[in-house]
Amino acid sequence: MDRLETVDRQPEQIRHDVRTGAIAGQTSGLAPGFAQGNLVILPKQWATDFLRFCLENPKPCPLLAVGNPGDPSLANAGRNIDIRSDVPSYRVFRNGRLVEEIADIRHIWRDDFVSFLIGCSFSFEWALLNAGIGVRHIELGSNVPMYRTNIDCVSAGPFSGQFVVSMRPMKPADAIRAIEITAAMPQVHGAPVHFGDPLAIGISDLSRPDFGDSVPVKEGEVPVFWACGVTPQVALAEAKPPIAVTHSPGCMLITDIRDEDLLNGTFRFEAPAL
């Protein structure tokens, strides 16, 4: 990727600091203007179905990069990435059950591990804020509220489940502009999947999100729902592979991909042959 040659070294420096332990914890706000990614690592035997699951469900699982089996670099996402150490905290799942949360996975890395990097709403929130559209949970300094829904994913092998969505309340005129903006960013969840009545997508109580924090919906606002990167984690928990590794919530991989390139269509994901 020649384009990366001109990139600011900030993301690479932050990854280095994460690798050495100088930076730990959540990555929100680090390397502003650069995309962060949700991580899923699976053995090759499970990776083909998971790739298909992501490609069939691009709204909750928009792919930014996929690694070669056994290769801990992710060249399409940034220079000198070591996916075994460049995320501040990892979750290890065995048979669908969370067994440990660790800062480094070099000791459990395998020759058949395939890394999937999935786009994250931080990038479209960057675009919304740039357009002058307020994002409630950012204003409140809390996590975005997320909900399980009744919207079925397209199944692929053992991977199935329902969309998890994130919610941002907006006035209709802002929601229309937010739809226009995020529609242009398919690699980071794209346009919303719903707005208005939560019950229409199986959410019975907006004040009790399944993940993250509740935020108020003010007079004259409607809740707007985007497909969310927690969806693949729910699908993993259902599929119960013998081993899987993800990032810990909020502790993302910081990439060299510019949010701007996700907005103007310069960055494009090309599916690998697994």
Output 190 or 241, the one with its CB closest to its own copies: 190
Residue 120 CB, nearest approach to its own copies (Å): 20
- The full 3-state SS of 235-268, as one line of letters, equals HHHHHCCCCEEEECCCCCEEEEEEHHHHHCCCCC
Contacting residues toward its own copies, per CB under 8 A:
172-173, 175-177, 179-180, 183, 191-197, 200, 220, 222
- The full 3-state SS of 156-209, as one line of letters, equals ECCECCEEEEEEEEECHHHHHHHHHHHHCCHHHCCCCCEECCHHHHCCCCCCCC
Output 202 or 250, the one with its CB closest to its own copies: 202
Residue count of the chain: 274
Output 36 or 187, the one with its CB closest to its own copies: 187
Residue 65 and residue 74 in contact, taking contact as beta carbons nearer than 8 Å = yes
**Both tokens assigned to 197:** 């009545």
Residue 177 CB, nearest approach to its own copies (Å): 8
Output 59 or 258, the one with its CB closest to its own copies: 59
Output 194 or 258, the one with its CB closest to its own copies: 194
Output 173 or 273, the one with its CB closest to its own copies: 173
Residue 58 CB, nearest approach to its own copies (Å): 14
| Residue recorded with tokens 């199944």 | 155
Residue 220 CB, nearest approach to its own copies (Å): 6
Output 79 or 177, the one with its CB closest to its own copies: 177
Smallest Cα–Cα separation from 76: which of 120, 17, 35?
Answer: 35
Task: Enumerate the β-bridge partners of residue 78.
Answer: none
Residue 61 CB, nearest approach to its own copies (Å): 18
Residue 160 CB, nearest approach to its own copies (Å): 21
Burial of 204 (0-12, 13-18, 19+ CB in 10 A): exposed
Residue 135 CB, nearest approach to its own copies (Å): 18
- The full 3-state SS of 61-118, as one line of letters, equals CCEEEECCCCCCCCCCCCCCCCCCCCCCCEEEEECCEEEEEECCCHHHCCCCEEEEEE
Residue 228 CB, nearest approach to its own copies (Å): 16
Q: How far is CA 6 from CA 9, 139, 187, 257, in A?
A: 9, 33, 22, 11
Output 119 or 190, the one with its CB closest to its own copies: 190
